[in-house]
Structure 1
């Protein structure tokens, strides 16, 4: 079969991709070899003759149009040497950002956030007093993040063309924890984004990421502890493993919860955890999978959050985390608004540099709607605030637009009458913390609700 210009173009692009890639991508392209060339020729010929199916066209377009996403591999490969230097603005679900006034985003790294309506019954409410936040924006690509410690290894990377930074963990039983986080209070929340690289149907059934709550700020698990392991395997539905331990009684809970989160893991998921006294709840995106009223052992004094990954193929599979947040609170904001007449929260999140609400903000907005539904006489002013990144005038406009977006969600999703809601923006003019670092900026990016 004579090769036409379309075949030549395909072969040329494939060759350039092979030269430009490294690691797992290069190995994948090499494996295609002669069969890939022949398949490309056949596909192009069918396309020229206009007999190819829509799916074949899409597959071909992913080769002919660099940068297009393949539906078979929605999570982009990590590029450890890409986008180095300077602060990167997160594109995943982040209450924090580093460059420009991104003011925080949350969502999947590949497929984008789900609709606000899907999250309309999402009842997770993040803590409103920030204890720790890291989006790795202050770390250099290729380095282990400065705020963390490990007994293994890891490095800060980016995925595809996104500037968002991730901690790429290593295979084996490496532990990652934050040495300087304050001791955990009675009520607190933990959030982070998770992405995977190289995970497929051959991934081990033991592949998982585990969140430990521990009494020790070391690599040991002495004293009381509680942990939940989140599966990442794909070839069947796996379970979340729930375990707790006390030195006197051993484990009182040693059980598994079935959780089909395979697609969420491939797409990139947001993990939310709420601890209120002894009660422990865990959500993957908008779905709650764990709710145990007495999971935290009695008389425990937890001081640290530790992460470890397990069951990964070396050099093939990676689990990555970003936008790691620990916050005090996560309690009922409705009572506080009614009793004090005002609340301020940094748990309402937006797309980077815009007023697009991120779905995981709906837990707080839902509680506000319940206050308004309970008392039809209440009117509220919604006030937006930003950090000081960017121009003051742009921040002022952004804060006003974000307040309006919250109002619109209350009206369109929860059927609150718009004449009960006023909006205002203060831009960067009323900071509550220093704007010098990630924690301070996260505190300054907030939304207030004030009874009128």
Structure 2
């Protein structure tokens, strides 16, 4: 009934479903970091094994879901990736989460924390459930089911800790991580010094201006699980990405004449733009809207995987896709934008690792004089 009323209101107001979704997208302000520091997709791990670059006081294993490797967390545990041992004051951190079907409301949420750990290899266990001794950091929880009988919502909460003492906390309903409706969600975390923003897909669930305590050295990211009401209740994660945040798009593009970023992501071997990149694209669009005489060239780059001719073609297609989006979705005149592609021919670093390859997959925005 609610859905029918919503559609009726859209018709009365002259709004299509696509227009409503576009309005939601326009509010998405997450801007990915432009230099990648860590990537983790468990490609080096064997199915059935615990991931080699992680530690836990519980258990877990790598499993195959839809042709990809995912990390299945054990219950009542803390899980820490040792590839993350330093965090800048401005960073973005992203990952994908999915849950098992028919997840039980009485199972615990999946929590993740940004923490200060004196000895990460051992101190991470201080973040086990029901223990707060010595904690410094902020913990965010997400759950794919609320108490609502409709089961069309999930929940989220946060808790700040300072030297083991409780600080601010809150809980809320969220719409993007919902068992049997939207069981898979992309989580985006953006720290800008003391401010923390957390998103589930394009929904901002928390915006906390004083989440981080001054002079604390936050250096670790970890995950926590509690008890599961049913043995079949599971959480899985994949595609972790840590990058230096707070790219100065305005200064670099307008004053320096160029802005380069690896934060605009595309599907593999495709020019389809990933939705988590929309905040950064919007930031570029705003600059162009505020500077109507500025013209730019959009230049795509790829890594060296695949054939050189194919990569060259793909880089051009990706530049064209960005031009099309800036024009169609943000009203930037097509005549103000040129496109080009360099394929794999101009790497910024050797294509010898997954991180290097990811940084080579980039887009340049160059101001045309």
TM-score by length of structure 2 reads 0.85
Residues 1:387 and 2:303 are matched in the alignment: yes
> RMSD between aligned alpha carbons?
2.1
Contact 1:385–1:426 (CA under 8 A) maintained in structure 2: yes
Instruction: Please point out which of 182, 185, 191 is paired with 2:88.
Output: 185
Q: CA deviation at 1:257?
A: 2.8
Residues 1:231 and 2:135 are matched in the alignment: no
Q: CA deviation at 1:146?
A: 2.0
Consecutive unaligned residues in structure 1, runs of 5 or more:
1-113
Match of 2:72, SS state, is strand
Match of 1:228, SS state, is strand
Residues 1:169 and 2:73 are matched in the alignment: yes
Consecutive unaligned residues in structure 2, runs of 5 or more:
1-19, 127-133
- Matching residue of 2:131: none
Contact 2:177–2:200 (CA under 8 A) maintained in structure 1: no
Contact 2:110–2:142 (CA under 8 A) maintained in structure 1: yes
Match of 1:266, SS state, is coil
Q: CA deviation at 1:126?
A: 0.9
- Matching residue of 2:98: 195
Cα distance in 1 for partners of 2:81, 2:207 equals 25
Residues 1:342 and 2:258 are matched in the alignment: yes
Match of 2:211, SS state, is coil
Residues 1:303 and 2:206 are matched in the alignment: no
Cα distance in 1 for partners of 2:304, 2:46 equals 23
Cα distance in 1 for partners of 2:227, 2:248 equals 38
Cα shift readout 1:205-243 (whole Å, capped 9, x = no counterpart) = 352111111111232344521111112225425542211
- Matching residue of 2:15: none
Cα distance in 1 for partners of 2:274, 2:22 equals 7
Instruction: Please point out which of 187, 199, 212 is paired with 2:113.
Output: 212
Cα shift readout 1:322-372 (whole Å, capped 9, x = no counterpart) = 111111113442233222211111111112211111122111110111111
Structure with bigger strand share is 2
Cα shift readout 1:72-108 (whole Å, capped 9, x = no counterpart) = xxxxxxxxxxxxxxxxxxxxxxxxxxxxxxxxxxxxx
1:302-381 alignment, distance < 5 Å: 302-313=218-229, 315-381=231-297
Q: Segments of 4+ in structure 1 off by > 4 A? A: 114-118
User: In terms of Rg, which structure is larger?
Assistant: 1
Cα distance in 2 for partners of 1:214, 1:447 equals 32
- Going from structure 1 to structure 2, the CA distance change for 1:208 and 1:191 (only over 3 Å counts) comes to same
Match of 2:49, SS state, is coil
Aligned residues: 333
- Going from structure 1 to structure 2, the CA distance change for 1:339 and 1:311 (only over 3 Å counts) comes to farther
Contact 2:271–2:321 (CA under 8 A) maintained in structure 1: yes
Q: CA deviation at 1:312?
A: 2.3
Cα distance in 1 for partners of 2:355, 2:252 equals 24
1:405-420 alignment, distance < 5 Å: 405-420=321-336
- Going from structure 1 to structure 2, the CA distance change for 1:422 and 1:182 (only over 3 Å counts) comes to farther
Match of 2:34, SS state, is strand
